[in-house]
A = this chain, B = another copy of it.
Amino acid sequence: AVNGSRLWQSLMDMAKIGATEKGGVCRLALTDLDRQGRDLFVRWCEEAGCTVTVDRIGNIFARRPGRDDSLPPVIMGSHLDSQPTGGKYDGVYGVLAGLEVVRSLNDMGYVTEAPVEVAVWTNEEGSRFAPAMVASGVFAGVFDLDYGLSRADLDGRTMGEELARIGYAGDAPVGGRPVGAYFEAHIEQGPILEAEGKTIGVVTDAQGQRWYEITFTGQEAHAGPTPMTRRRDALLGAARVVEAVNRIGLTYGPAACATVGLMQIHPNSRNVIPGRVFFTVDFRHPDDAILAAMDAELRAAVAETAAAIGLETDFRQIWYYAPVKFDAACVAAVRQGVERTGCSSRDIVSGAGHDACYLARVAPTGMVFIPCIDGISHNEIEETTPEWATAGCEVLLHAVLERANA
């Protein structure tokens, strides 16, 4: 029903924007490359006959009218921004699978009851601007618009400034309109589907997350004449918390994840005892009570470390969302799509956060996962296959038709 080679070609064309030497993509949110990716998407949508709207936080909506255009739309989507060393599929797949559904409907001359939209959500990755899923969060009313626009990167540039700079600070209000259903197709970003030989993951839940920013301040001093016992080494403190975070992840395993991904050392000079270290912690678990237990252990480890070394601590939980349960009817629509296409599948819990996690607060929401090679994502070698990509898009088409004609 869908044109798999057209979908694959579009993925490869989009991957040229920000392509890295190792075959990945670096297209950070609201950079010039992100603008180029958005422009290409908008052109494709206009060529497919869609009407394109941009809202005040830069979310793009490409609309294909329904027979009754007053019905709330069924939205498909994901994001075009990437990690600094990201892959070709994370996010992009969900956007272009949505576009391929529209193109296929056009090919068939098929008119859905409700309108169908393809959405691109701004800054899903949370890498340049923390936290992740900011703009779908504003759409869903989880964050204020001002909060979203004022998110700043490590150089102090805000999302609002950067949206204006790249020409994607739109006029449309953010959210506040009825959505019939939301479906997001995505690569799994983990190893389960491939290991079990399944083509489709029917996503029933998503893990909860807590993100932290921690700054330890000790005292800069000379690495030579400063006795070990007189030091207040902020990096030693951070190192102990990295070890503690790993231990916490293992303790609450196999479903727990615990990561320190970012660290900045000050003044970062070989012969200076580090005086200040800023770092982040990312905790995930499908069970909110366990996520709270991980939080308590982290706080204890940070306090103990700071006391032992004599460090001052600035500790902030900057993001939290509870585990998500996707809408039963949307999950059923995905499962029905699997049956129609005859793919192998299994139910799965998303380890990553997705715009769908916030959309689920304001719309019946479902997700379709396809495998990725070796479970690797957030890496330039991220890979999937044209067959999986096509299968996921077909399942998406069926799920969307199910809801748009309901």
Query: Which residues on A are within 8 Å of B, measured CB to CB?
Result: 83-85, 125-127, 130, 132, 188-191, 207, 209, 211, 219-230, 233, 235-236, 238-240, 242-243, 246, 249-250, 253-254, 256-275, 280, 282, 284, 350-353, 375-380
Query: Are A352 and B224 interface neighbours, CB within 8 A?
Result: yes
Bound-state CA distance A193–B209 (Å) is 52
Asked whether B222 lies within 8 Å of A235 as measured between CB atoms, the reply is: no
With a cutoff of 8 Å between Cβ atoms, the chain B residues found around residue A224 in the complex are 189-190, 207, 209, 257, 282, 284, 350-353
Alpha-carbon gap, A230 to B195, bound state (A) = 13
Q: Which residue of B is nearest A220, CB measured?
A: B379
Nearest B residue to A265, CB-CB: B263
CA distance A31 to B271 in the complex (A): 19
Expressed in whole angstroms, the Cα–Cα distance for A364 and B263 within the complex equals 45
Contact for A225 among B132, B282, B375, CB less than 8 A: B375
Task: List 14 other contacts, CB 8 Å, given A222-B377, A223-B282.
Answer: A125-B271, A189-B222, A190-B227, A222-B351, A224-B284, A224-B353, A225-B350, A225-B377, A236-B242, A239-B239, A239-B242, A259-B273, A262-B265, A263-B263
A273 to B280 alpha-carbon distance, docked (Å): 12
Given A211-B270, A239-B243, A268-B84: A250 in contact with B228 (beta carbons within 8 A):
yes
Sample of 22 A–B contacts (CB below 8 Å): A83-B272, A85-B267, A125-B271, A130-B270, A189-B225, A190-B224, A191-B226, A220-B380, A221-B376, A223-B378, A224-B351, A225-B375, A227-B253, A228-B254, A228-B257, A233-B246, A235-B261, A236-B246, A239-B239, A269-B378, A270-B280, A271-B378
A17 CA to B230 CA, complexed, in Å:
31
Residues of B within 8 A of A246 (CB): 228, 233, 236
CA distance A267 to B266 in the complex (A): 18
